[in-house]
Amino acid sequence: MKQLPVAKNVPYRLKLCGAAALMLLCTACGDHPPKDDDDDTDPPPPPAPAITIFAGDAATAGATDGSGTAARFNAPQGLAIDSSGNLYVADSGNYVIRKITPEGAVTTLAGAVGNSSYADGNASNARFVNPSAVAVNGSGTVFVTDNLRIRSISAAGLVTTPATIPVGNNVVDRSLGAVIPGAIAVDNNGNLFVTNNYGTRRIASNGTLMLEGQNTVDDLFGTRTQERRGVTVDSSNTVYLFDLEREISRWNPNGLIGVSGLVTIAGAPNVRGAVNGTGNVARFEQVVALTADPQGNLYAADAINNLVRKITPAGVVTTVAGTTRSTTLQTGNLPGSFANMSGIAHDGKGNLYLTSGHAVIKIRLP
């Protein structure tokens, strides 16, 4: 057989080499479906802690304005939140009212640290003696219980005294703890709701109406301490309170004045405890503050138990945060635990704020 000249085979071989090189190049350039690379994907970030310190230090008292944990409070008690997410704190040990922005910046709204007296006027010149509970209305006016006085701080910073809680006859000074209000709420019509040891009253422009109990009590002797009983108003102006029989109740404005005007939601008359359940199966110790979310659920600061309790509109009670009777703050995952608690507020976005020890705590609800 006749052999072709070698020179005539060179172009053919070059074509074969070129085709092979092109295939290798296409393979190297990824001209094919991408390979799954799950093993190299970064893991998602861990979830944020459910319980954090929003401002202050639970174990350290002070009077410092600042941001977040750089700020200091001295035995803060009542807590309220406005429609913009600003918090207002009754900083009782410092005799002032503090404001915390949604970013955690703390300033002194009214009063002067370390100066205890009764004085109305502009915010910097006003003075308080025992600010213990706060509420804020839709116009930004802040209401404060200050011993027997109800104080108000306008959006412009003017402090006045719109009401005073009456004292009965023959009441000694050591017994005034029973008269001093421990919780306050305000509805959309400007009515104030205030609790003390023996009654719950609505203070309106046309007078006072007793929701339960008595307006005044005579012949009080001996040392009597303030027993704070939480009260709150939801967006539909429904009033909820920890009533004189230690139950969570709803006020029926169409009912008769007195206990018959209250509708019990959860708890049993004059029975203490930390039991979850529905209706009268549930038990509370001392609900010092209440707040409502947009869905009609209530959240209670159940002091002594040091628990945050949730009460649904159907009266189902659960514990959402805290360890029973623990007095040490433990942040991080739920349930955690708290130092002594005083005030509570819901921001309408799934977060609770709680005064605990010398700090304001944020709880991200599940």
Task: Compute the distance between CA of residue 239 and CA of residue 234 in angstroms, rounded to an integer.
Answer: 7
* Res. 244: pLDDT tops 60: yes
pLDDT at 255: 57
For residue 314, give Cα distances in angstroms to 33, 264, 298, 318, 329.
56, 11, 11, 12, 31
pLDDT at 8: 44
In this predicted structure, the answer to whether residue 291 has a pLDDT above a threshold of 80 is: yes
Mean pLDDT of 98-120: 98
Asked if 321 and 268 count as a contact pair (C-beta separation under 8 A), the reply is no
DSSP secondary-structure letter at 215?
S
By CB atoms closer than 10 A (0-12, 13-18, 19+), residue 214 is middle
Tokens of 299: 């959240």
Give the pLDDT confidence score for residue 256 in this predicted structure.
54
Work out the average pLDDT over 192-214.
95
Neighbour-count burial of 181, counting CB atoms closer than 10 A to its CB (0-12 exposed, 13-18 middle, 19+ buried): buried
317-337 burial: b if 16+ Cβ within 10 Å, else e: bebbbbbeebeebebeebbbb
3-state secondary structure labels for all residues of 40-88: HCCCCCCCCCCEEEEEECCCCCCCCCEEHHHCCCCCEEEEEECCCCCEE
Please choose, from the candidates 201, 300, 206, the residue with its C-alpha nearest in 3D space to the C-alpha of residue 258: 201
Percentage of the chain surpassing pLDDT 90?
84
Query: By percentage, how much of the chain surpasses pLDDT 70?
Result: 87
User: Which long-range contacts does 186-193 make (Cβ < 8 Å, 24+ apart)?
Assistant: 186/135, 186/136, 186/137, 186/143, 186/233, 187/233, 187/237, 187/239, 188/137, 188/138, 188/233, 188/235, 188/237, 189/237, 190/137, 192/135, 192/143, 192/150, 192/163, 193/231, 193/233, 193/239, 193/241
**Quick check: 261 pLDDT over 50?**
yes
Comparing 4-8, 175-179, 287-291, the range with the smallest average pLDDT is: 4-8
317, containing H or E segment: strand 316-321
Is 10's pLDDT higher than 80? Answer: no
The C-alpha angle 310, 313, 317, rounded to 5 degrees, equals: 35
Give the mean model confidence (pLDDT) for residues 251-278.
84
- Between 259 and 226, the higher pLDDT residue: 226
Q: CA 273, 322, 91 angle in degrees (round to 5)?
A: 100
- Helix runs in 260-337, H state only: none
- What was the pLDDT predicted at 20? 45
Query: 42: pLDDT confidence band, cut at 50, 70 and 90?
Result: confident
Q: Give phi and psi for 228, each to the nearest 5.
A: -70, 135
65: CB partners within 8 A, 6+ apart: 71, 98, 106, 107, 108
CA 114/CA 346 separation, integer angstroms: 30
Task: Kindly indicate the confidence band of residue 48, based on its pLDDT and cuts at 50, 70 and 90.
Answer: confident
Give yes or no for a contact between 265 and 248, defined as CB atoms under 8 angstroms apart.
yes
Runs of H (alpha helix) within 128-262: none
What does the block give as tokens for 307?
């628990």
* Residue 79 clears pLDDT 60, i.e. is over it: yes
Instruction: Choose the weakest-confidence range: 109-123, 225-239, 251-265.
Output: 251-265
Distance CA 230, CA 246 (A): 11
Token representation of residue 200: 């719950």
Q: Does 3 have pLDDT greater than 90?
A: no
pLDDT at 303 exceeding the cut of 50: yes
Split at pLDDT 50, 70, 90, the class of 188 is very high
Using pLDDT thresholds of 50, 70 and 90, give the confidence band for residue 40. low
Which residue from 343, 345, 346, 347 is spatially nearest to 359, judged by alpha carbons?
343
* Locus of tokens 């209706």: 279
pLDDT of residue 263: 93
Give me the sign of the Cα torsion angle 352, 161, 236, 210.
positive
Mean pLDDT of the chain: 90
